Amino acid sequence: MRLNKIILITILFSVNSFAEVIRFDVISLESPAFEGRVFGDVGQYQKITAKVTIAVDPKHVLNQGIVDIDIAPVNDDGFVEAIADVVILMPMDLHKGNKRIFYEVLNRGDKISLILLNDGKWNDYYEDLDAGNGHLMNEGYSIVWSGWQGDMPSEKNQMGLQVPTISGVTGLVSDEIIFNHDFNPFVATLSYPAASLDASKSKLTVRHRQKNKRSSPEDLKFEFFSDQRSGIKPYTNKQITIYRPKGYDASAIYEFVYEAKDPKVMGLAFASVRDIVSFLRYEKEDTVGNSNPLLIKGKPSTIYAYGLGISQSGRFVRDFLYQGFNQDEKKRMVFDGLIPDVAGSRKTWVNFRFSQPGRWSQEHVAHLQPGDQFPFTYSVIKDHLTGKTDGIMKRCLETNTCPKVFHTDTATEFWQGRSSLVVTDTRGQDIDLPENVRAYYMPSTPHSEVKVEPYHLNYCQYTVNTLHNGGPMRALLHALDLWVSDGVTPPESQFPSHSNGTLVDFDQKKIGFPNIPEVSFPNVINDIEVTDYSVIPAKEGMPYPIFIPKVDVDGNDYGGIRLPDIDIPIATYVGWNIGSEGFAKGSLCGGVGSYIPFPRTRLERIQTGDPRLSIQERYRTKKEYIEKIRIASEALKNRRFLLEIDSNLYVNDAMQRDIGLNK
């Protein structure tokens, strides 16, 4: 009897030591999803909504790098738990699926991959998923999302991760606040609860621009927010009321430095993605007997797993790989292929004490966000400014768990995300990427992934560039799958470089941008320096060299994967926009680009002094324009950057477009 008991205890300990997903609780099942829509030969899909509990061993070598995991609360087994929201879209008949997981890292709790890869509409906070053209479903993917952001509430369609709070821990925190409006006073929510409501222990400063000196004018005041009228106990330690000073515009930068308390173990984000994907890929059931939903005849059906991150989540993907989480606790590879999209050279502010995962460094906003420091590229290289040797792939190389990587960037990332550092060393010289990495550039396209008509924002000077990269991104996912599954070599990297003359200094003449009437070329860029974060505010040191893609005579970028709309243009499309009057005028305006239409006629061009040829001078008829778009689309397809199913994608768009020409 005693021997049996010892054996049972040993078995349970062995299972728990590696059973990272301890509960996979299905909350709801929508079957079929999308009102019963049928997707090609795959058929109908179903949607599973679940709560998944992971248990992370704080003593395991793969987890010891998670900040504060050593002081986090543990369960009876000594493991640290977290609970993730999970949604899975899967074929109702898994036999008809392609036996591949397509995992999207959520962007601030939102699912946006269907917008990029399915040309779907924006599924915002209040709306459910839009299947769009159904591409991922037609291909048979099991599409998985899981909450990873520990400060993101689980509500409506947003998904979060419940992580432990470290009670009693305090520390100095800096919150940057930009209102983009003129309301006065205004209530701002803090990232963490203040440890003290004594205003003298906190400091509020204001400045016009990132590089300006911080100041505290006499009429700049704050108080911890208290709304006694509500009859509810005021939430005073998480909000402040700011009384704004005179002379500062709507986009002034307010910085509140305060002693905060109760940080969260945000680094569990990486472990949660690792463990959930690994469970779905390799395991049959959780520790209480709940089945893995991706089983066929009682066995895991997944052959390959691919991960995509867009913007914030693209930075997460790079950081996930950098911090060694593509290996699970059984030493198995988690993702076979990863696509960090519109991430630039950045990582994330996640695995830190008092982290702020929602921030992203821009020229005017959150410029000093931690997490963006060296290394910048995938190759292991030496930083001549700090003496460090490192690379995004350093850890996976040591464990032989490096995936195939397609790094994809748009024009905005060169201005706001320092993309040149992906393909240059810290002296600014071209470098070779590892054999398992490709870098693809989408010239003249913006950071945003939404397919809509150009529009205007009141805080940006120029009409917003809304070119959409759905076609090439679908082709790249197909190429990544062929590379992983069949060893088919993908197209070579298509990225600006010094060697081919498409990467140049940040200088209008060297870039070649034309002098377009009523258009100001930016005089700022989101640079980066060796930064000391041990002090608040952080102290910047020596700068890294940043470069920009060269443009053609129209101002459109050379090289890369040029959309037909860039090869056969009706406008100048750029990755930057500039703050308008009253909104940090002259600063880089967020993550949007600019759409600057060509003159319609030769007369208009001459009258305005525009150096760019008019539409009338480029295309004699609308039919000629459409035919040129068709030829450019065919060329893109021949280069393997457009699928056969998308052959007419840009032609159809061109047919609907009014360019001021007769048929």
Q: Considering the entire predicted model, what is its pTM?
A: 0.95
Which pLDDT score is estimated for 13? 36
Tell me the backbone φ, ψ of residue 257, rounded to 5 degrees. Answer: -105, 125
The answer to whether position 191 is within a domain reads: yes
Q: Mean pLDDT, consecutive 10-residue segments, the chain of 663 residues?
A: 36 46 97 97 98 97 97 97 98 98 96 94 69 97 98 88 97 96 93 92 96 96 72 69 96 97 98 98 96 97 98 98 97 98 98 97 95 97 98 98 98 98 98 98 90 89 95 98 98 98 98 98 98 95 98 97 98 98 96 96 97 97 97 98 96 94 80
Indicate the SS3 state at residue 101.
Answer: strand
The answer to whether position 188 is within a domain reads: yes
Nearest CA among 579, 587, 570, 593 for reference residue 442:
593
CB 440 within 8 A of CB 559: no
Distances (CA, A) of 54 to 85, 282, 286, 313, 660: 11, 15, 10, 21, 58
Helix axes 312-322, 268-282, angle to 10 degrees: 80
Indicate the SS3 state at residue 176.
Answer: strand
Tokens matching residue 75: 């369960």
CB 371 within 8 A of CB 347: yes
Indicate the SS3 state at residue 613.
Answer: coil
The answer to whether position 242 is within a domain reads: yes
Which pLDDT score is estimated for 15? 41
Alpha-carbon distance of 502 to 559, in angstroms, equals 7
DSSP for residue 325: T
Output b/e per residue, 70-106; b: 16+ Cβ within 10 A.
eebebeeeebbbbbbbbbbbbbeebeebbbbbbbbbb
- Domains held by the chain: number: 1
Q: Can you give the length of the chain in residues? A: 663
Domain that holds residue 183: 170-261
The answer to whether position 240 is within a domain reads: yes
The answer to whether position 211 is within a domain reads: yes
CB 330 within 8 A of CB 19: no
The answer to whether position 186 is within a domain reads: yes
Distances (CA, A) of 231 to 227, 228, 235: 8, 6, 12
Concatenating the DSSP letter of every residue in 239-283 gives: EEEEEPPTT--TTPEEEEEEEEE--B-TTHHHHHHHHHHHHHHH-
Alpha-carbon distance of 551 to 447, in angstroms, equals 18
CB 284 within 8 A of CB 300: yes
The answer to whether position 4 is within a domain reads: no
Question: pLDDT tens digit string along 220-231?
Answer: 999 987 655 455
Which pLDDT score is estimated for 127? 63
Alpha-carbon distance of 661 to 55, in angstroms, equals 63
CB 74 within 8 A of CB 95: no
Alpha-carbon distance of 537 to 551, in angstroms, equals 37
Question: pLDDT tens digit string along 305-350?
Answer: 999 999 999 999 999 999 999 999 999 999 999 999 999 999 999 9
Q: Angle at Cα 228 formed by Cα 222 and Cα 233, nearest 5°?
A: 100
Which pLDDT score is estimated for 305? 98
Distances (CA, A) of 200 to 185, 205, 232, 593: 20, 13, 26, 42
What single letter denotes the amino acid at residue 528? Answer: I
